Amino acid sequence: MPSPFTFEISLTVLNHLGRQLYRNFITILGEAISNAWDADATNVWIVIDRENSTMSIVDDGIGMTPRELQNRFLKIGYTKRGIKGKNTKSFKGRPYIGAKGIGKLALLSCAKRVSIMSRKQNFEREPAGCLIDNQQLDEAIQQDQTAGSFPLPSPDSRASQNLINHNITHGTSLFFDNLKPLNNRDEFLRRALAMSFRFTLVDQSFTIHYNGTPVTIGELRTLAEHTQFVWTTPKFEDEFLNLKPPLEHRDIEFGLNAKGFIATADKPTSLAIYGKSERVGIDLFVNGRLRERDLIKHFPTSQHAAQYIYGQIHLNNLDEPGRDPFTSSREGIIEGDPIFNEFLEQLKKVTQKIIGQWDELRDKYGEEGDLENPRKSPQQRAADSLIGKSLKEFEPKNASLKVKKLLESAQSGLPEAVQDYSRIYILENFMRELLIANKIISENDLPLKKRKRIEKYYENAHKDAESADLALVVRRHDAPLWYLGLGDLLDLSNNAVNNNQGKMLTKRLESDKATLSLLRNIVMHTADLTNEGRLALNFAVQNLVAKIKKTLDEMDDNNSNN
């Protein structure tokens, strides 16, 4: 015997399921776009009138009869997939995006009044429509009314007029009146739409129009132009990757039939396409729709390279018959989903591999790489960074392949040469400071031969300055010792009279004089050392530094005893 009780749903549930659940305007637009996709539309037109605070969204899908409008669109929880979720494709064969039957509630969260008008394909009767007034809905919620006791009035005439304006015989029109203020500019919304909906990868006949102009992948051209390196899964094709060829392209592989690309930008700020506070990351798509942003948040890393990475991975296996792994807000994957967890483990491994390769590629193209990667010492990376900046000064904006090869040849061996030069620079200046500070020789007590050499160098230097017609002081050190090289500095120390400290230092350094003078001149004349020459320089410098340290210690001991 049946009981006298019935199961009722309070209108309050609409707040929990929809109106207060969606915070992202692109996600709200996404529900209308997804409905158009599921309805086999070829076009969906979005028009936002900021001045009058209105928005219209019209599609040329199959439309709805009055019965379908009531029993499908206005029935919260209705899903075209069926109770068991086995119906996964539309009449055209498109994979359905909608699943829970609550996405339509998102449309109520961005305006005070929403009108719906729909004309069914091959249905001769007039279009069916209604209006949902949020103010009236709030009053009903406060009175704790049930869903069955809330009748809907007729739609705004502008919803019907939009069907006529687009000259379509079937489809659905949504009209939003008293739209909530939008903080995003049209340029931002176009980029976000292009980035969030990749339906053309599934069906190229589908087009999103925004304020009268189709939204294309070209909205992301700036991002493509700032992309340096790209990794793609086998046979993956995406017109975004054709906007501007990357410097280098490599392959990656996932299991689970995942496909897509991961790329790196020239600098982190190039990824701020949504604004300064939010950068694009590695995003997850399912059947063409963005399902979760910034997947790296699932395995946080402090590695420098992670700031440069973005990408789009398509994992359609997540949306298999009978599965619904998406959160109610449609902005993420339900925690603990086994397929998603397995994918994240694979993504973590792939990302680490890419970070290692990224460091090598950045190094190859003269850019700063991963400072924490032990592949190179901090000194090497500092030199490489300096070199990269210097090379950019020489390369024309649209350099030909021939010019690039010439530059590549000219800078061959430069990282090692920078280190060679820095050693000699420090060594020579250190010798000068030693000679002066330890009173090994006075600048006013130079041998005649050295004075004449200095006078000659000094005269030549000043003649060069006059020829250059420079009124500025361009030479930092003009004292006599700075007109002499390492060999002469060693000679000065050797010729110091009655100075035991000078003799102590000279005896140790004299044996290295010939070798260092030869190697020093090769480096200073940019003739570049061979591998053997570089080994000889390293050995001589290390030997010399060790001798200088020992001499300085002995000098300190002698001074202490005196």
Of 332, 198, 313, nearest to 256 by C-alpha is 313
Q: Look at residue 329 in the predicted model and tell me its pLDDT.
A: 59
C-alpha dist (Å) from residue 235 to 72, 283, 342, 371: 39, 19, 22, 33
Q: Look at residue 85 in the predicted model and tell me its pLDDT.
A: 55
How would you write 5-71 as a 3-class SS string? CCCCCECCHHHHHHHCCCCCHHHHHHHHHHHHHHCCCCEEEEEEECCCCEEEEEECCCCCCHHHHHH
CA distance 261 to 505: 62
Q: How far apart are the first and last CA of the chain?
A: 117
Q: Look at residue 82 in the predicted model and tell me its pLDDT.
A: 60
pTM here is 0.71
Mean pLDDT, the chain cut into blocks of 10 residues (562 residues total): 58 62 77 92 97 97 93 80 67 82 78 94 86 85 71 92 92 95 90 91 92 96 96 94 94 92 96 82 92 90 89 90 69 85 94 93 83 76 70 71 77 79 85 75 70 84 79 79 80 56 54 78 88 87 76 65 60
Q: Look at residue 498 in the predicted model and tell me its pLDDT.
A: 41
The number of CA neighbours under 13 Å toward the Cβ of 424 is 24
Give 487's contacts (C-beta < 8 A, 6+ positions apart): 513, 516, 517, 520
Domain boundaries, the chain: 13-215, 220-364, 378-410, 414-561
Q: Look at residue 497 in the predicted model and tell me its pLDDT.
A: 39
Q: Look at residue 190 in the predicted model and tell me its pLDDT.
A: 95
Q: Look at residue 346 in the predicted model and tell me its pLDDT.
A: 95
Three-class SS state of 281: coil
- Give, in words, the CATH class of 13-215: alpha beta
CB 348 within 8 A of CB 360: no
